[in-house]
A and B are shown apart, each in its own frame.
Chain A
Amino acid sequence: MKGLKIIVLAKQVPDTRNVGKDAMKADGTVNRAALPAIFNPEDLNALELALRVKDSVPGTTITILTMGPGRAAEIIREGLYRGADSGVLLTDRAFAGSDTLATSYALAQAIKEMGHFDLIVAGRQAIDGDTAQVGPQVAEKLNLPQVTYVEEVLSVEKASIVMRRRLDNGVETVKSPLPMLLTVNGSAPDCRSRNVKMLMKYKHARTITEKQEATEDYTHLYDSRPFLYIREMTVGDIKADADQLGLTGSPTKVKKIDNVVLQAKDAKKLTTADEGINDLMKELIESHVIG
């Protein structure tokens, strides 16, 4: 069987799981700079799933597609170190303020420019929004079947794929024709670590913007090693309807943001002293809350 062309959708996200005390600015807005930018965790599960398909079907290639600012190229390199073959960074100010629908539209238009593919693999959701919308919306825009919450690909045939997906209360084995889009659940296997050979091979991989901004000159490398080229796409490279991009193309608008301010209740304050804890337990037993 011929190798598959797989596109992995990935996002660089602020690590909202480890929000420190300096995560909010004095004016109450989120201080993104204080949060480390990471490879969205479930997108790493997605990459691993794609890598396993590549392991089992020789000739398979994996391209990571991400939309974001210039520094999002970091996660493409991270993917190359783990076994992906190439990456595309979709970046343009025109995409700023996109909601999930405008994001999906831009990604779908980019995918149409990327040529033939058999399979699109995405993480279930990103930790900065937790919406789980972009995968299914990209599938709809490309008119592909979708299967969500996948944990494992069981088999790949010439024109179909069989996979196991996680439900709230069990599992389901489903078969879909190719090409299709699947989203990967966090319960799927963790991504393998970086491969030292790949790290050496790709550590100078750069987008064109990064090359122009670089202080060290590796120009001589790029001519002899085309794989160090991370493709950058801007709005001009995708055939997009401007009305469907960015803030304009986003049906949902943020009306307001409230910072979380807790109104303190008049709590009874106790220490670990026996007396206070015993009084509390007594009160709860007497009021039949417990017992």
Chain B
Amino acid sequence: MNNIFVYCEVEEGVISEVSLELLTKGRSLANQLGCQLEAVVVGCGLKLVEKQVIPYGVDVVHIADDARLEPYTTLPHAAILNKLFAEEKPQIALMGATPIGRDLGPRVSSALHSGLTADCTSLEIGDHEDKKAGMVYKDLLYQIRPAFGGNIIATIINPDCRPQMATVREGVMKKEKINANYPGVVKNLEVAKYVTDLDFAVQIIERHTEKKKINIKGASIVVSGGYGVGSRENFKLLYDLAAVLGAEVGASRAAVDAGYAEHDRQIGQTGITVRPKLYIACGISGQVQHRAGMEESAQIISINSDPEAPINSIADYVITGDISEVIPKMIKYYKLNTK
């Protein structure tokens, strides 16, 4: 009772990265709170799926395995979580800020009347004193996220309602197995007790998925452009530099909104989170929402004509100038001085 639950996304028997990252975070929160970590896996063909999650320090894995549960649709997954959470009364429930988690989370939070915070960039445990009510709350989940266009960082709490729910984007938390032989147990859910025929009102008629072509997350160097790049044409300079360095091209939300780059390249709180060896920020002002997606890069170069650009304060190198002048010089030196 009152444990931490992580809803694990699964596709064709494989647990998603973001879920494993959340289990890692969930384990450390559980250690702090002295409670157990439980995982929920809902899908089909889930034989031995527990072997993928238990090594992350999962004490109990709840498995709902039924052909009708994959691919994901909202209502049956929500019905399972609503009932399971009503029975198990978790104090914290986490899910990925993915298309699935952001569809499912609000549905469940509404049904349970519990608070949900979207796209957290950090989760911590802490106390809260409500002076007006004269109440002290121990060990709440601090759900920390940028808000209001990234101008502020808000710490959100749910003092009275349970579970305290939060979604977190892929790549924000680290993933770490703790013990290949961790003694977790499996509880198979009797699916028919959790869903009704009405939960299958929405049918998937057709589905086309493709592997992502752009792999910014795995790139060791990222050349990224912001609104200051100025145009889609100017973005070509970034592709040139990336091609020479073996890098991927990323973009800020402002650049994506302006149509300079595809949505798949967006880095930041509402995009991809990256941790490359080198991040070259071109014409990026550096709102906190963008920084949330890249500030853990090992080294950061900022090229910006504005010497006061906020991103400069987290950069290791600041080049004040126009990218159309700077990038060709970088390419030229690199070509002349490597084999």
- Listed in ascending order, the chain A residues whose CB lies under 8 Å from chain B are 14, 16-17, 19, 23-24, 30, 99-101, 104, 127-137, 139-141, 145-149, 162, 167-177, 180, 187, 250-260, 262-265, 267-272, 274, 276-278, 280-282, 284-285, 289-291
Contact = CB atoms under 8 A, between A and B. Distances in A.
Given A169-B212, A280-B301, A252 B117 contact: yes
A24 B143 CA distance: 23
B273 interface: no
A262 B155 contact: no
A167 B208 CA distance: 9
A125 B237 CA distance: 33
18 contacts: A24-B151, A101-B115, A130-B270, A137-B109, A137-B110, A140-B78, A145-B201, A146-B74, A162-B205, A169-B212, A172-B71, A253-B156, A258-B154, A260-B288, A265-B316, A271-B319, A271-B320, A278-B329
Contacts of A135: 106
Instruction: List 4 A-B pairs, minimum CB-CB distance, nearest first.
Output: A16-B149, A251-B115, A170-B209, A272-B321
Contact of B207 (A16, A19, A170, A291): A170
A28 B290 CA distance: 20
A187 to B, nearest CB: 7
Contacts, number: 240
Q: Which interface class (under 10, 10 to 19, 20 to 34, 35 or more) fits B?
A: 35 or more
With a 10 A CB-CB cut-off, give which of A23, A24, A176, A281 has the most chain B CB atoms: A281
Contacts of A30: 148, 151-152
A132 B313 contact: no
A141 B269 CA distance: 28
Contacts of A168: 98-99, 212
Interface stretch (B42-50, B56-64, B157-165): B157-165
A99 B110 CA distance: 12
Contacts of B116: 100-101, 131, 133, 252
Nearest to B102: A132
Contacts of B287: 19
Contacts of A134: 106
B217 interface: no
Contact of B158 (A17, A251, A271): A251
A130 B119 contact: yes
B204 interface: yes
B109 A133 contact: yes
B210 interface: yes
Interface stretch (B33-41, B171-179, B331-339): B331-339
Contacts of B118: 129-133
B20 interface: no
A168 B71 CA distance: 14
Contacts of A127: 149
Contacts of A282: 333, 337
B300 to A, nearest CB: 9
Contact of B330 (A139, A169, A250, A281): A281
Given A168-B98, A252-B116, A265-B316, A291 B205 contact: no
B142 A137 contact: no
Contacts of A278: 329, 333
